[in-house]
Amino acid sequence: MSLAAQLATARVFDLEQPRFAGMPTHPAHKPGYFYALHRRHRDSYRPAEFGPRSGSSGVLTMMEHSGTHIDALCHMACDMTMHGGVKVEDAERADGYRELGAETMMPLLGRGVLLDVAAHKGVAQLPENYPISADDLIATARGAGVTVRAADVLLVRTGYATAWGDEPAYLNAAGVAKSGNIWAADQKVVAVGADNMAWDNMTERDPDTNMALFGHAHLLVTHGIHIIENLNLEELAAAKIYEFGFVGIPLKFRGATGSPIRPLALVDAPRGQAN
């Protein structure tokens, strides 16, 4: 069967959260998102001159780290040095980064793995600020009968996607702890993602460095592994699908530190159930 035929019969799971003013946003990325109509249908509608056609368009203002998005490698630095030894002072400009910007991110096309930690622990949603450890990830993978491999896109479900309309609750989501980040990097995945604001546990500090968001340094800076945030994994988890084809295409914002992304999970559909 050709690739086109396989795609035509695949079941598609949309993993993006809807974007709207007032959606949960990390405090460092406020105001987050704003959309307003700029040109309205009535502005150009002249029945005698143009007939029934009219047009409308809007203005979109948003932080690149709002909504479902992916972090570029220039997003983080340690000791003013980004991934691959790139010095911030050499790459940073007022209009963006000369290296490691969003336009350098390749499309993510490959195998995806879902580790549904919440379901493995028998809950719809993990406790607030629960630190997801390496042991949690290993046990979840074993329970689901999946193996995380090199070049995979690793997705972790906390259950907090259902709180997308409630910012205070969403900002207290569970997240991946230091040991979980070290384990993920050791598997040599190409990207990670979760149904929370920061992938990391937002309340944990690395006892060795006192650094918050350890994974943002360990994954982005040390290992060059991209991070996808604010996923909606509910439908995929409900279907108990733990291995799938993953498609995620960043936008080519030159020099940007991140990009919106529309992530999809593709699986073989039962006969007669293709999208």
Distance, first Cα to last Cα, the chain: 18
CATH architecture for residues 3-17+67-267? 3-Layer(bba) Sandwich (3.50)
Give the tens place of pLDDT for each residue, 173-228: 999 999 999 999 999 999 999 999 999 999 999 999 999 999 999 999 999 999 99
pLDDT range class, residue 49, cuts 50, 70, 90:
low
Count of C-beta atoms within a 10 Å radius of residue 212: 15
Which amino acid belongs to residue 244? F
What average pLDDT does this structure show over 13-40?
95
User: What residue type is 81 in one-letter code?
Assistant: T
Q: How would residue 274 be classed by pLDDT, with cut points 50, 70 and 90?
A: low
Bond preceding residue 31 cis, omega within 30 of 0: yes
- Report if pTM > 0.85: yes
Strand runs labelled E in the chain: 10-14, 33-39, 57-62, 69-71, 92-93, 96-97, 108-116, 131-132, 153-157, 175-176, 191-194, 226-229, 243-248, 258-260, 264-268
Question: Does position 51 have pLDDT exceeding 80, yes or no?
Answer: no
**Rounded Cα distance, 265 and 244, in Å:** 6
Locate 189 and state its tokens.
């995945």
3-state secondary structure of 151: coil
